[in-house]
Each structure stands twice: as structure tokens, then as C-alpha cells.
Amino acid sequence: MNGFENVSGADNQQERLKVEINPWYISGFVDGEGSFHVAFARRPDLPKGWSIIPEFHISQDISRSNVLQEIKEYFTCGRIQENNSNSPDKTLVFIVRNRKDLINNILPFFEAYPLRSHKQKDFIIFQEIVRLMDLEKHLTNTGFNNIVKKAFQMNGNGKYRKFTMDDILLTESSETTC
């Protein structure tokens, strides 16, 4: 035989139709359309009064949603949803917020396929924050404040944030044992 047995078989056709997305393509795509962000939300029900929300996301026009779907399938985590902006555009966003998914899927990926733009600096800080949270450092006032200060070094030093760093930082005198 010639080594091409069952060339026209259904199994072979399925394999040929599914071409896995190149990881360097994803990295480049994120350089242009993605971001790493750490949000803070007021949560009076939490001991520190704030929730820390690390998030990786990629935005894309709805007409190119197939790219977001391929990236989601590659990472095997996250979700795709409509962008919450009030603008008339039809933008979708792929979001990963789950800390285990960030640690197991997103961080190792960008360690192996680093970004080439200024977003690499944001990724490094993001990575530090996620790992500190995994070690539960955010549960102490000192650790919480350290994370806040790091987050404000990202994405243009927090110029688009709703709250200032001083709004979020905890006073050292309120240090409590968790």
C-alpha cells in the first residue's frame, strides 16, 4: 500500500477539517486584541471590603467570533459573551476569571509564548498577582495592599479605573488576623 489508506474515510476527513490554532498566533492576537486586568469591586460582605478580580480577556468584532471560539477551545476554559459597553458596535469578549484556569491554562501559556509588546509587562505583574492570591496573600492587609499597588502599575498605571489607589488601600492600623 502507499501509506494513504482510508484517505477518503470519514475519520480522516474530520482530522483534516480541524486544524489546531497556532499558539504563536494566539500570542500575537492577544498582543493586539487582549489584556490582563485586575479589577476591584466594593464588597462590604468581605473582610477587606473589596473583591480582587484578576481577568484575562480578548475582544473581537462579532463578525470574527470564530477566532474567539478557536482560542476558547485551545485554552479549554473561559467564556465568550457580548461586551458590556454602551457603544453601538457588536463586540464579543473571551473572558477567563477563574483563578485555577488562570494558573493552569493562561499563565503557563504566556510563559511559553511571551507577548512582544508592552503588554508583556502587564502580564508579568498579572502573573505575580494571581500567584500571590493563590498563596492567599490577599487575605492580609499587607498582602492586599501589595496587590493593589501592583495592579495600579498595569494598563497605563490605572488611568481608566473607577476607584483611585487611595480609595482601595487599607490602613495598616486595621490589620486583622484572618
16-162 adopts what CATH topology?
Answer: Endonuclease I-creI (3.10.28)
162 — pLDDT class (breaks 50, 70, 90): confident
Nearest 10 degrees: CA dihedral of 61, 64, 68, 73? 160
> Nearest to residue 113, comparing CAs of 25, 35, 38, 54?
25
How far apart (Å, rounded) are the C-alpha atoms in residues 163 and 151? 12
Quick: pLDDT tens for 142-159: 999 999 999 999 988 777
Find out whether 177 and 166 touch, Cβ atoms under 8 Å: no
175 — pLDDT class (breaks 50, 70, 90): very low
Quick: pLDDT tens for 38-65: 999 999 999 999 999 999 999 999 999 9
Domain segments of the chain: what residues? 16-162
What's the first-to-final CA gap in the chain, in angstroms? 70
